[in-house]
Structure 1
Amino acid sequence: MKSENEESKVLENIEANEGKSKTNNQESIENKNLSTSMNSSLRVLDYLLILLILAIPVVNIIAILKWSFSKGININKRNFARATLILSIVAVMIITASSLFFKPDGPSGWAAEEVTAALANGFVPGGLTRNYGQGITREEAVNLLVRVYEKARQETVTPADPKLIKDTENEGVLKAAALGIVSVASGQTVEFRPNDPVPRQEMAVFMLRTALAVKPKQDFNKEMQVTFADAQKIQSWAQEGIYFAFNNKIFSSYEERIAPTMTLNREEGIICAQRLYEVVAR
């Protein structure tokens, strides 16, 4: 009996071992098949299917993430997905950096037509043909206006004596002094402050003086016709200039305000020059 029991146990152990062996073999075969599947080359049809999925919005993002990080994905598909993900991240970073640090150098859309006209008329010095959103300086502003005068009168202005202005020898500023656009007194040296920004009321005065230099006998409608909500901010010396600019549609108001102390940028200064030319060329 003992021998039979021992034989029975031996047979059971053999069967159990055979079962385990079969299971292990089956798992080994499955793992081998899985490994083969994961490492197999992708067919043309596989690539076409991948590209089709990537063309679908939202679905493409989900697919890329799944293929990149899920288990059991074909290694070639996974590498392709990860490469695509990396390139996408790099592209987003480049586009973001470009939008922050490399802004378009042309004028704003609303200003483009008049800036283009001013360029065609030769009013804009080379230094003002970029960075249109940058604040315009006093020196740059009067250079624009001198060019308006010279085109309107078809003559070249002779610069004033450089000794009259102590902080610049810029030819355009000296021409503006000769025309009376910039105030100077005979025998005295004045400070022009060429690099200071230009408030609207100061630009208005420069433009009125330019218009009167072009047409000394012309009535340019510089009387007050509208009361602005911020009229108290207009300096007494600038009132005629402000109303001249507004009445002749060089300046416009916003919510009944004229903003006399607001400084101009380059494209606004260029537009002022173009509109002034249209006024004096009538």
Structure 2
Amino acid sequence: MKKRLSALLSLAMACALVLSLAVLPTALAAEGEIPVPDSTMGLVSDAASTGTSSYTTSDGKTHTVYLYPAGTTISGSWLYSVESYEGDSYTTVQFGGSFVLPESGIFTVTTMDAMTYTQSIFVSADGSSSTTDPEPTTDPEPTTDPADQPSSWAAEQVNAAIAAGIVPETLQSQYTQTATRAEFCALATALYETATGKEITERATFSDTSDVNVEKMAGLGVVGGVGDGKFNPDGELNREQAATILARLAEVLGQPLPAGEPTFTDNGSISSWAKEAVGQMQASGVMSGTGSNSFSPLEPYTREQCMMTTLRLFEQLG
């Protein structure tokens, strides 16, 4: 009799397991952590996921959308912002706190670690459209062109840099576009002259530009030319160039950054002339990686990224 009861119990448990898998074939996880790709900055939901969908933005990029029941609360110590997504634009819903998922709409939930490393995931309520633009959760009336606004994750530090007087007015727009070599010289000049309280009198000239900020930075030895007496002022700035300029700027200000050997997984792709500066950036926290412990030395560097790292250097100068 005992053997028969044991066998029946085992059979019942097996059936229950099969039924649970049949009911939730696309479930991602039970209540708990929401997966944020390549990040330890997990978010927490108070309901189980119902699966995934996809959303293609108007720029042709397709994103995975994590589906949850409407009313699910999403929270986490690293939650930074929530935006409703519409094609290639967004409307900021909130900063920080917990987010209760509405019945419709597709949202990006962004996590940020000490304002240096970010990850974003798309979330939506189960059953809402993932192929058409959702209705925004608010009805804003923007007074400025969205192109003249920094990204939500950069806005606080960009505004702080502007308030500190280290962002020339000519650069206070088109924040997400790649900075040029001359534009970064303008930021570097503003930082130097604000920090020291005096104008740079040194000058070095080039045949392809008369930009005074380029001449000032070259006069201090912070930047150099590209050969044949040229500077290439309109050349796009990349990450290892930005690191080198920032390290040299700290040195001419009399406060060199601490030395350190970079520990990124792509150290081998960093130019030999930039490796020391990249190590200083990592050791000081002025610049960080791009995710997955990579530095991406040749990746373009945007205006807003330049402003954020210039502000960090300015703050370290005391």
Q: Which has the higher contact order (CA 8 A, sep 6+)?
A: 1
Deviations 1:196-239 (A, max 9, x none): 11110000000011000101xx4521221x52111111000001
1:200 pairs with 2:200: no
Length-normalised TM-score, structure 2: 0.52
Secondary structure of the structure 1 residue equivalent to 2:153? helix
Q: 1:212 aligns with which of 237, 251, 254?
A: 251
Matches of 2:256 and 2:305, distance apart in 1: 25
Matches of 1:236 and 1:228, distance apart in 2: 14
Q: 2:157 aligns with which of 114, 135, 141?
A: 114
Q: 2:282 aligns with which of 243, 246, 259?
A: 246
Conserved? CA contact 1:133–1:265, under 8 Å? yes
Could you say which residue in structure 2 is the equivalent of 1:139? 182
1:227 pairs with 2:263: yes
> Residue 236 of structure 2 aligns to which amino acid in structure 1?
P
Matches of 2:235 and 2:263, distance apart in 1: 29
Matches of 2:279 and 2:293, distance apart in 1: 13
Could you say which residue in structure 1 is the equivalent of 2:203? 160
Matches of 1:125 and 1:111, distance apart in 2: 17
Secondary structure of the structure 1 residue equivalent to 2:166? coil
Conserved? CA contact 2:243–2:274, under 8 Å? yes
Could you say which residue in structure 1 is the equivalent of 2:80? none
Conserved? CA contact 2:218–2:224, under 8 Å? yes
The percent identity for this pair of structures is 31
Conserved? CA contact 1:137–1:195, under 8 Å? yes
Q: CA deviation at 1:184?
A: 6.0
1:173 pairs with 2:218: no
**Is there any run of 5+ residues in structure 1 with no aligned partner, and where?**
1-91, 93-97
Could you say which residue in structure 2 is the equivalent of 1:73? none
Matches of 1:264 and 1:184, distance apart in 2: 19
Length-normalised TM-score, structure 1: 0.58
Conserved? CA contact 2:257–2:280, under 8 Å? yes
Indicate the RMSD between aligned Cα atoms, in angstroms. 2.3
Superposition map of 1:7-18 within 5 A: none
Could you say which residue in structure 2 is the equivalent of 1:260? 297
Secondary structure of the structure 1 residue equivalent to 2:148? coil
Matches of 1:170 and 1:104, distance apart in 2: 25
Secondary structure of the structure 2 residue equivalent to 1:263? coil
Conserved? CA contact 2:225–2:231, under 8 Å? no
Deviations 1:233-278 (A, max 9, x none): 1000001111111111111121111111111111111111111111
**Is there any run of 5+ residues in structure 2 with no aligned partner, and where?**
1-134, 136-140
Q: CA deviation at 1:190?
A: 2.2
Conserved? CA contact 1:204–1:238, under 8 Å? yes
Deviations 1:89-111 (A, max 9, x none): xxx9xxxxx99xx6452111111
Secondary structure of the structure 1 residue equivalent to 2:167? coil
The alpha-carbon distance between structure 1 residues 104 and 168, as it changes in their structure 2 partners (threshold 3 A), is closer
The alpha-carbon distance between structure 1 residues 208 and 169, as it changes in their structure 2 partners (threshold 3 A), is same
Q: CA deviation at 1:148?
A: 0.8
Conserved? CA contact 2:180–2:233, under 8 Å? yes
Deviations 1:39-96 (A, max 9, x none): xxxxxxxxxxxxxxxxxxxxxxxxxxxxxxxxxxxxxxxxxxxxxxxxxxxxx9xxxx
Larger strand fraction of residues: 2
Between the two proteins, the alignment pairs up a number of residues equal to 176
Conserved? CA contact 2:260–2:282, under 8 Å? no
Conserved? CA contact 1:159–1:172, under 8 Å? no
Matches of 1:167 and 1:103, distance apart in 2: 33
Larger helix fraction of residues: 1
The alpha-carbon distance between structure 1 residues 258 and 165, as it changes in their structure 2 partners (threshold 3 A), is same
The alpha-carbon distance between structure 1 residues 175 and 189, as it changes in their structure 2 partners (threshold 3 A), is farther
Matches of 1:169 and 1:127, distance apart in 2: 17
Conserved? CA contact 1:142–1:172, under 8 Å? yes
Matches of 1:104 and 1:189, distance apart in 2: 36
Matches of 2:188 and 2:159, distance apart in 1: 16
